[in-house]
Amino acid sequence: MDGHFGGVCDDFHFSTRLFLKLDFPTERETVLHFFERLEREFPKMSRLRRRDDGALVLEEDQPGMGPRRWVRLDRRTVRFGFFAPPSLDEIRRLGDVILEHAPYHLTLSPLDTDRLEVVYGFDLEYRGNHDQLVADALMSEHPFGAMLSSDDPDEENKFQAIECQPYFGMALTTTCDLQAYFEIKGRTSTYEVRAQDYENQIISIYLTVRKYFGYTEVRPLTQEQRDLIDIADELGRNRVVPLIVAPLQQAIATRLQ
């Protein structure tokens, strides 16, 4: 992945979310058997913790910010992901193992599955106004861009974007059961804009491919996820990277000169 998406941003991360209609069993033995099965497949996934919201998380216990896997069980959601995955094959393998064993250990049924999502996250580091960066890099030639700037040179510094986080989606099938969403998430506060004192923070670009169940024939979750990964991979290469990530990177580089 370093030569793929990991090489076009500061950090790349992947996650999958399976949304259920009913609460899944949370008995101690049931959950432990599921986590122990995952640990046998991925020995470094040995750190188990409970979040304040009650969710259970099993993650790889290793220092630093290198590649690491995780899985999280909520009341009606199974989530898992891979930070800085080394390859697309490793992403697929993680999904295959979890989605093959989750229905058996957690007694999931096709009737219980609501939707499945695959999320690609592209992170870029930038010390400055994230909202203004997005406005300048992606909207300068768009009518919306004129709303976030001033035609009067004397007032140019007075007009600064403080909320510019585009979020839009598109249907990929006529039945709308397959969808894709694109989101840009900045983290600049109005205090930083007012003080002109910025922290070096992450601006994130999220690509989400979502499949709703009940419209087509029932297929194994492993196959559904592999298909979503293929779609996300294509959208990432042909749309997200050239149309969003690259322009933002170029704008950041210009500001650092």
**Burial level of 85, CB count in 10 A (0-12/13-18/19+)?**
buried
> Quick one: DSSP state of residue 138?
H
The 3-state DSSP class for residue 139 equals: helix
- Write down how long the chain is: 257
- How far apart (Å, rounded) are the C-alpha atoms in residues 135 and 162? 10
CB 78 within 8 A of CB 95: no
CB 105 within 8 A of CB 37: yes
41: which strand partners? none
pTM (2 d.p.): 0.91
| CA 130 to mean position of chain CA atoms | 18
169: which strand partners? 181
pLDDT in tens, the chain (257 residues): 444 688 889 999 999 999 998 887 767 888 899 999 999 999 999 999 999 988 899 999 766 667 899 999 998 999 999 999 988 899 999 999 999 999 888 888 888 889 999 999 999 999 999 999 999 999 887 777 677 665 555 555 567 888 999 999 999 999 999 999 999 999 999 999 999 999 999 999 999 999 999 877 778 999 999 999 999 999 999 999 999 999 999 999 988 76
Helix 88-105 to helix 28-41 angle, to the nearest 10 degrees? 150
Residue where the block lists tokens 């969403």:
181
- How far apart (Å, rounded) are the C-alpha atoms in residues 76 and 55? 10
Q: How many CB atoms lie within 10 A of CB 137?
A: 19
| CA 192 to mean position of chain CA atoms | 26
